[in-house]
Structure 1
């Protein structure tokens, strides 16, 4: 609960502090609520519709991630609701108004119709509309017409709110997610460095692994952002925003950060396995962990510099220079730690070797972005990497 509360707190701070995916999510949520209230005010308060719930319910569902999705979802939902309302009314007429009998006739058919792929995620609304009609007990032609009118009111309001009130244009979303990945990775590495210097335990290691796992939803959000970047420009009335947006970075950046997230996950998982009563790996010596904490801090600086590079408010040249210096500093410290690896003995050497191997691979992905991996003198252990004997004894996951 503490980890979850901390993550929620970070999200709230990001939403309040400035533009970004958290702010966009907050705006969309408020638009959903506003559309539902407006639909109820029109259908329930002004028109006094007999089942006004249909209007805000539809409006709430149609404030989607893009205007194009709202229009597409609106057409799908209206089609499904028409089918659900008509079929439920026929079922009620066939059984003479029996609620249970109408459900037995209507729901199996509508549940199957809802799986039709053309209806997408809106297919379930056929069954829920039938439940409204059947439980409300209104199935005359006039009353079915009211249901359709209420649905259309909600659809028009939901789509209009999404299209004309801060219409979602996801041109910056790719940059936002790519900035969030190095920013959160840097925070994780700094938190690890602080803990490794102290008497850390299994709960702290589990927290590190949890934070590494939280990078995966960001990667999924990045994939969605790329799709939304193209989709959000379709049928969007915000013509001026179309021309101002920068082109997103290439998709190779997504692959690169997927690899970095995987290495961080392996590192944190290895540390978890050295703690607790059921630990099956020997913990490295405190002296090694102290030095590895410094390496984690310097790797965090590389990630933080890359986050600055994706922040378009700073100069790209200065950010790239900071990233290059941070990467070279991290590589130099990695070399010195790898050279001292020969002092490690016993079962803990395998764990130390795995940490070094995974960190080296992570740095190899980070460093080429700023001019390539720095040249290093060849030592007796193959260029400053962890010895082959250590990695063979306990290969990385």
Structure 2
């Protein structure tokens, strides 16, 4: 099996400082592909704003940069890159792209150029009214672009049942074309302490995510203010970076006592997140929209319960009242009350976290998810060959 992937995960070129496990996932995909066909290979076209050399982290896995000044120009620069490296690229049996937007447009061209089936991935809730409102004019146009790309694709992989439902009901996409396969998480070890590792206080509430509009940062601080007013010994840790970082630091300084009540860590390497999950009493995700909600799943693996909004993906993971709590979007008073209850009932919170771990280990086993992805690619190849 020869797979060509189009990705926006530039962090694969920064393996030593990467804050995600993208490269690990690529390696796992290739390993699973080789179990079906030993001569399998994976070429990944990666959008990047910086120039990098082609890299080969392991045999038969190549990372090929598409250097473009901005994501909107990815299709044009992607076509040039493919034509430039045509003699290097393996002719793909199947193509998969990370989004139905810019990478999706490039995917349609690749589908015609290589005459290979195309799978379009959807990792965020593009049907959310909050996503449309974020850039009202532009995102309405992008939504129509996504619809066109999806309708031309041979298969669609989404990470949540919410998006799958909208694809079927709003766009009349046949159910047989849609596969719901979340992003696999490969935390299979207990965290180990190292010199300088952060030690969190008791009653710590953790937020992990990008500091951007979809994460509802104003709502996050509304929750922090409510909880810290009621529970003076509560602490909040914010791990992440983004264009709202300055706002986060200003609000943290404003609400903190002696600068210690709210800890803003910035971006944390992926391998170090388990130490945060393990020490926290609850993970929170007050988002406006989410594709999946991977941090909830990660927290459960370390028996930490979660509170999130009904923003898409978390609804597939959290069993409200059993493994954590779900609230309506922007219902921050109710959100805060759930956090307070968990902090005041640590034994019950631990039980919820343990149930969450059992649930995700059963429903989101990473090896099973990877196998399903590879089987889906094989299915697209076989259907295309009929």
User: TM (normalized to structure 2)?
Assistant: 0.26
Q: Which has the higher strand share?
A: 2
User: TM (normalized to structure 1)?
Assistant: 0.25
Bigger Cα Rg = 1
